[in-house]
Amino acid sequence: MNSSNWTKIENRFVQKFKFNNYNEVVSFTNKVMQIAIKLDHHPEISVHFNFVKVKITDYEKGATSEKCIRFTKEVDKIII
């Protein structure tokens, strides 16, 4: 699995994660959703055959926040 760095685009942190197959995509997506539930901070997730795009912002603040940074750090832990 390869990943790029989180990028800030229009008040969101965005990252695209590439995988070898759809099973890996589903497994990763489920882990990201568990992080979202745990942190009570919910991203936009786009699921494709061999990649997942994750976007996160703090809708209450209209920008990224410390909650977003915590979320990205937790996601980074599962891609190692």
Closest CA to 75 of 26, 50, 23, 39: 39
Confidence of residue 80 (pLDDT cuts 50, 70, 90): low
Give bridge partners of residue 44 from the DSSP assignment. 55
Domain with 29, as residue range(s), is 2-78
Task: Locate the DSSP E strands across the chain.
Answer: 2-3, 7-9, 12-18, 44-47, 51-56
Confidence of residue 76 (pLDDT cuts 50, 70, 90): very high
- Token couple for 67: 């909650």
The CATH code of the domain that includes 48 is 3.30.1360.20
Instruction: Dump pLDDT digits (tens) for 13-47.
Output: 999 999 999 999 999 999 999 999 999 999 999 99
CB-based contact 41:19 (threshold 8 Å)? no
Termini Cα distance of the chain: 9
